[in-house]
Amino acid sequence: MRDPYSVLGVQRNADADEIKAAWRSKAKSVHPDHNQSDPGASSRFAEVGRAYEVLKDPERRKRYDRAVDAHQTILQQRQAAREAAERAKAAKANAEKVMEELARANAQRAQAQANAKASAPETEAAEDMVERIFGAAKDAGASADEGRTRQDSEASGRAQPQPSSFSSGSAAGTDKNPSEGGNIAPEPRPLPVQAVDLIASLVRRIRGVNAPPEKAPDHAVEAHVSLEELLKQSWVAIKLPEDREVHFRLEPGMTAGHVARLKGQGLKVPGMLRGDLLVTLKLVSDAKFRVEEYDIHTIMPISLEDAVLGTETQVDTPEGPRQITVPPWSGSDRAIELEELGLANGEGSRGKLVVELRVMLWEKPDAKVTDLMRHMREGLYV
């Protein structure tokens, strides 16, 4: 259904009198009797009637305005989700570049250390330094002696001395390269970098736990459901790009345009927690029924005589035929509402089945009816 405000040509803040005047003007201009050569006049006339039916009822008009606002909110949420996904993708690409640079730098440093390993000690890692200072032994009192004994035994059991950032100046001065006759020491890591690594290692040791990983952005998808599935609250399956299938059940309160949030079912990003999966329900088109929030609408054609005199008839509903009463003098702007035949609203009740009446003329013109209408129009004119 098109926007009823656009169909009638009024603003969203128009009052009831403006809407009624616009409907009369539009209905008169697009009436099939005045546009007999236009095959689309009947559909436009019916569309004008539906638009007026929505806007003339204050409650239905409020529901429509809320639905439009909710749709705009959903579009904004989707845009925000797409932007978040793009930011996450860019962050991942930047992280991969940083990791490549770090790997390249580590390889260069390892090569430099391997070249100078025969003559000088290398810098001790921050984690190893903290572990050695605070001790991994259970007995805190004997940790220092055990550390020295372990270092002495390791030093005596090797042909070459092991690198240590805590070697004294005299020890470092005695390590000479016989071929070059001098001291050659590898370039140590800059002091600020060592300090930052050491502080970070101490903080991690004090806290005892690592910082929790960041949550990945939410992933938005659409699920196409039928009116029957909404009424029966069936299970719905969604296929995701990871060759993964997620199942969830339709619940009371879900209708066309509803967004269901499935916790922890979103996309998996390396190094991040799974985000949520946002599922927007899209209703499959139905030839007989349409859904507005929790109400189900259907159109029932009636003859001119039944519209004037009233009648008892049956109307098709998603749950089978129901008997209804058409009051006398019911025009195309009249709707008959059947309670508790719509969708479950999540509050213990259901919406309505709204039967929209459409007055239909006979297939062939009738002379008596034509004369009667002509006399009525001329009499009203006089």
pLDDT digits (tens, 9 = 90+) for 321-375: 999 999 999 998 889 999 999 999 999 999 999 999 999 988 888 888 888 888 8
Q: What DSSP designation does 381 have?
A: H
Tell me what pLDDT residue 369 has: 85
Q: How far apart are CA 161 and CA 155, in angstroms?
A: 6
Q: Which of 133-147, 178-192, 213-227, 283-297 has the highest mean pLDDT?
A: 283-297
- Range 219-283 has CATH code 2.60.260.20: yes
Nearest Cα neighbor of 5 from 51, 71, 64 is 51
Per-residue pLDDT tens for 114-162? Answer: 776 655 555 555 566 656 665 544 444 444 444 444 544 444 444 444 4
Q: How far apart are CA 339 and CA 345, in angstroms?
A: 13
Q: How far apart are CA 78 and CA 221, in angstroms?
A: 9
Answer yes or no: are the C-beta atoms of 178 and 160 closer than 8 Å: no
Answer yes or no: are the C-beta atoms of 235 and 251 closer than 8 Å: no
Answer yes or no: are the C-beta atoms of 304 and 368 closer than 8 Å: no
pLDDT at 81 > cutoff 80: yes
Tokens of 290: 């349409």
Q: How far apart are CA 51 and CA 19, in angstroms?
A: 10
Q: How far apart are CA 237 and CA 249, in angstroms?
A: 9
Which comes out higher in pLDDT, residue 119 or 99? 99
Which residues, in sequence order, are bridge partners of residue 23?
none
Domain boundaries, the chain: 4-56, 219-283, 289-369
Tell me what pLDDT residue 119 has: 55
Answer yes or no: are the C-beta atoms of 12 and 5 closer than 8 Å: yes
Nearest Cα neighbor of 123 from 175, 181, 167, 179 is 167
Tell me what pLDDT residue 173 has: 40
pLDDT at 272 > cutoff 80: yes
Tell me what pLDDT residue 160 has: 45
The CATH homologous superfamily for domain 289-369 is Urease metallochaperone UreE, N-terminal domain (2.60.260.20)
pLDDT at 79 > cutoff 80: yes
Q: What DSSP designation does 160 have?
A: S
Q: How far apart are CA 259 and CA 222, in angstroms?
A: 9
Nearest Cα neighbor of 123 from 140, 137, 109 is 109
User: Identical fold at 4-56 and 289-369?
Assistant: no
Tokens of 310: 């009233």
Distance of CA 268 to the CA centre of its chain: 15
Half-sphere exposure of 170 (CA within 13 A, CB side): 0
Which comes out higher in pLDDT, residue 320 or 113? 320
- Report DSSP letters for 184-241, one per residue: --PPPPPHHHHHHHHHHHHHHHHH-SPPPPPBPPPEEEEEEE-HHHHHHT-EEEEEET
Answer yes or no: are the C-beta atoms of 350 and 291 closer than 8 Å: no
- Residues 52-57: contacts with CB under 8 Å, at least 24 apart: 52/4, 52/8, 52/19, 52/20, 52/23, 52/27, 52/333, 53/333, 53/335, 53/356, 54/4, 55/4, 55/5, 55/8, 55/10, 55/19, 56/16, 56/19, 56/20, 56/23, 56/333
Nearest Cα neighbor of 151 from 177, 124, 111, 127 is 124
**For the domain with range 4-56, which CATH number is right: 1.10.287.110, 3.40.190.10, 3.30.365.10, 1.10.357.10?**
1.10.287.110
Q: How far apart are CA 327 and CA 310, in angstroms?
A: 5
Per-residue pLDDT tens for 19-76? Answer: 888 988 888 888 887 787 888 888 888 888 888 888 888 888 888 888 888 877 888 8
pLDDT at 187 > cutoff 60: no
Tokens of 204: 């991690």
